[in-house]
Amino acid sequence: MVDDPKTLVSTTWLSQHLKDPDLRVLDASWYLPDAGRNPREEYDAAHIPGARFFDIDDVSDNRSDLPHMAPPIEKFMSRLRAMGVGDGHQVVIYDGAGLLSSARVWWLFRLMGQENVAVLDGGFPKWQSEGLAVEDMSPLVRDRHMTVRMQNQLVRDVTQVSSASKLGDHVIVDARAAARFRGDAPEPREGLRAGHIPGSRNVPYTALLNDNMTMKDPQTCRTIFEAAGVDLTKPVITTCGSGVTAAILALALERLGHMHWSLYDGSWAEWGMFPTVPVATGDA
């Protein structure tokens, strides 16, 4: 792969830059409840040297009933300042699943106007499999100011997505598994209808990943999107269950040079709950 400090870097790149004074590493591990894993406990037991723990459920908008919605600017700035992450830093984000919630935090940084942020390809499992250093101590942190410039074009709400669904001026791409997209499998969250946003296309996030949870090369990802009926001449809105794996699609789009993308933050947790918006079932 080609290392890009603005999207995706390899374990080799990170190990070579780990002692850079302006590098900040974040463990952004997060799992669905049925995974039976506690990301904070796992971080406390072992993490990449110098990594800070980033809790996506804490660095979120707790005024919303929806899970881990993007936080207000002020909350993001204060939480990151407390982690010692700010202006002038190169940020690398990883997670314990390989490549899952780290992409969500990459998107959140981009939403806040931060450019020098990358996901660790293959995450902590790949790092550990290569015998690279880990530690169980939290780093000493010094406050660092962060300048935030909200990039509103990178996020969409239910009204905007509903309009895009009706007008067809964007391609809506759903990262959930095919059975959930078709409405054949129940949603993991109670009270949600089954199916997908009318007119949307299905690219399960797992289709973009190799067996070791590294991302496939940009040309292969392009082929996968196009095979799913995604017209890459149009702007793309990514969606999923709760706005986490949708960011994997966004990361892949960015790497293949498709810059006109946004993420539906509420995703199916919101759409599937709203009785006034339509739901389609079956294949796209």
Q: Which residues are the active-site residues?
A: 240
Handedness of CA 106, 226, 211, 216 (dihedral sign): negative
Between the CA atoms of 238, 241, 244 and 245, what dihedral angle is there, to the nearest 10 degrees? -60
Q: Please tell me the distance from the alpha carbon of residue 258 to that of residue 269, in angstroms, as a whole number.
A: 26
Q: Which two tokens stand for residue 128?
A: 């550990």
Burial class (CB in 10 A: 0-12, 13-18, 19+), 153: exposed
Q: Do 141 and 30 contact (CB within 8 A), yes or no? A: no
Residue-wise DSSP of 53-89: E--TTTSS-TTSSSTTPPPPHHHHHHHHHHTT--TT-
| Alpha-carbon span 177 to 85, nearest angstrom | 34
